[in-house]
């Protein structure tokens, strides 16, 4: 098995400091006469337009022009701050932080998904492929975690002829702590079905264990691969899976999850050791909720 990620809220990205170009004061271009009045950090000042009024001679018999000019100036000074605030608000509304995806990434609504695929035991090379994916996985970074998920999805998509059963459920949880508790419960529920985990990679720490007994005498029947995911989606990733076509679509959906949305990912499969086996009776006993897949050809034509 392998696991990486966390339901913890991502830390907000630090805002880049806004630096002003160096200034030599008003006297920089005039011999330094006013060099002591350079720029200092402080609040942003919105420059209001100023006018140099030349002497205006108004006919004493008609002062309407002077009153009109005074009204225009007063109204302009009143409207200018309002227009400025409107422009600022428009810029904030168009910023990435205000988009729906950013809101989805930062809120406390997350989705927990479990996908189980049972394959015929003939897909032995899938076990070796999952071993390789687990050993080479970068479980520290979100990019590495998403890459491992894509590699797992591709490995399953390359064995459609071996698919026999599936269990798929995706539910949205309001609260990261609740989602974490649900994820842990599902993880323990699945891992408790294994007699031994021969390969474990949690957060980049790899452990190997030997099989406690010799090769099993039982006839190998199936391989079960389980994917547990926690994502930042505010809606379930899918509704139901009943056919091979449905399973293919769900796998493609999981493989397209971006690193920013993938919070936690755990990969489980049994049997892990090639010498181990999972009989048909064990499949029924340990995975009673698996649903038999209908061939995808049943859904290709009406």
User: Is position 222 within any domain?
Assistant: yes
When pLDDT is averaged across residues 60-65 and rounded to a whole number, the result is 54
Does the residue 233 lie in any domain? yes
Q: How confident is the model at residue 8 (pLDDT cuts 50, 70, 90)?
A: confident
Flag whether 41 is in a domain: no
pLDDT tens, 165-201? Answer: 999 999 999 999 999 999 999 999 999 999 888 889 8
Is position 294 within any domain? yes
Domain membership flag for residue 126: yes
DSSP string, the chain: -EEEE--SPPPPPPPPP-PPPP---GGGGTTTTTTT------PPP-PPP---PPP----TT--HHHHHHHHHHHHHHHHHHHHHHHHHHHHHHTSGGGSHHHHHHHSSEEEEEEEEEEEETT-HHHHHHHHHHHHH---SSHHHHHHHHHHHHHHHHT-GGGEEEEEEEEEEEESHHHHHHHHHHHHHHHHTT-S--SEEEETTEEEE---SSS---SPP-EEEEEEEEEE--SS-S-S---BHHHHHHHHHHHHT--TTTEEEEEEEEE--STT----HHHHHHH-TT-EEPBPGGGGT--
pLDDT, tens digit, 9 for 90 and up, residues 76-122: 778 777 766 666 655 544 444 334 577 888 899 999 999 999 999 99
Q: Which of 33-37, 40-44, 93-97, 142-146 has the highest mean pLDDT?
A: 142-146
Whether 191 is covered by a domain: the verdict is yes
Q: Count of domains in the chain?
A: 1
Residue 99 lies in a domain: no
Digit-coded pLDDT (tens) for 114-158 = 999 999 999 989 999 999 999 999 999 999 999 999 999 999 999
pLDDT of residue 253: 98
204-217 pLDDT, tens digit per residue, is 888 888 776 655 56
Does residue 209 lie in a domain region?
yes
According to the model, what pLDDT value does residue 277 have? 81
Q: Residue 144 sits in which domain range?
A: 2-6+108-299
Q: Where residue 222 falls among pLDDT bands split at 50, 70, 90? A: very high
Predicted local distance difference test score (pLDDT) of residue 214: 58
pLDDT at 96: 40
């Amino acid at each position: 098995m392998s696991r990486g990620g966390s339901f913890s809220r991502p830390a907000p990205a630090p805002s880049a400091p806004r630096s002003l170009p160096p200034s030599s004061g008003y006297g920089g271009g005039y011999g330094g006469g006013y060099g002591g009045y350079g720029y200092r950090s402080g609040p942003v000042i919105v420059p209001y337009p100023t006018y140099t009024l030349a002497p205006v001679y108004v006919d004493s018999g008609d002062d309407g022009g002077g009153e009109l000019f005074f009204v225009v100036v007063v109204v302009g000074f009143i409207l200018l701050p309002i227009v400025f605030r409107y422009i600022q608000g428009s810029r904030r509304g168009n910023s990435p932080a205000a988009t729906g995806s950013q809101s989805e990434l930062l809120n406390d609504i997350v989705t927990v998904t479990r996908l189980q695929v049972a394959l015929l035991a003939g897909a032995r090379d899938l076990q070796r492929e999952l071993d390789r994916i687990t050993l080479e996985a970068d479980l520290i970074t979100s990019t590495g975690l998403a890459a491992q998920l894509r590699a797992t999805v591709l490995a399953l998509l390359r064995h459609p002829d071996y698919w026999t059963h599936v269990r798929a459920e995706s539910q949205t949880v309001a609260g990261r702590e609740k989602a974490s508790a649900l994820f842990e419960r599902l993880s323990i529920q699945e891992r408790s079905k294994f007699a031994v985990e021969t390969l474990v990679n949690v957060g980049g720490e790899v452990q190997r264990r030997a099989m406690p007994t010799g090769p099993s005498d039982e006839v190998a029947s199936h391989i079960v691969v389980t994917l547990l995911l926690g994502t930042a989606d505010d809606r379930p990733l899918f509704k139901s899976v009943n056919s091979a076509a449905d399973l293919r679509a769900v796998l493609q959906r999981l493989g397209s999850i971006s690193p920013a949305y993938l919070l936690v990912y755990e990969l489980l499969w049994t049997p892990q050791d090639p010498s181990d086996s999972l009989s048909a009776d064990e499949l029924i006993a340990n995975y009673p909720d698996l649903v038999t897949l209908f061939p995808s050809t049943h859904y290709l034509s009406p």
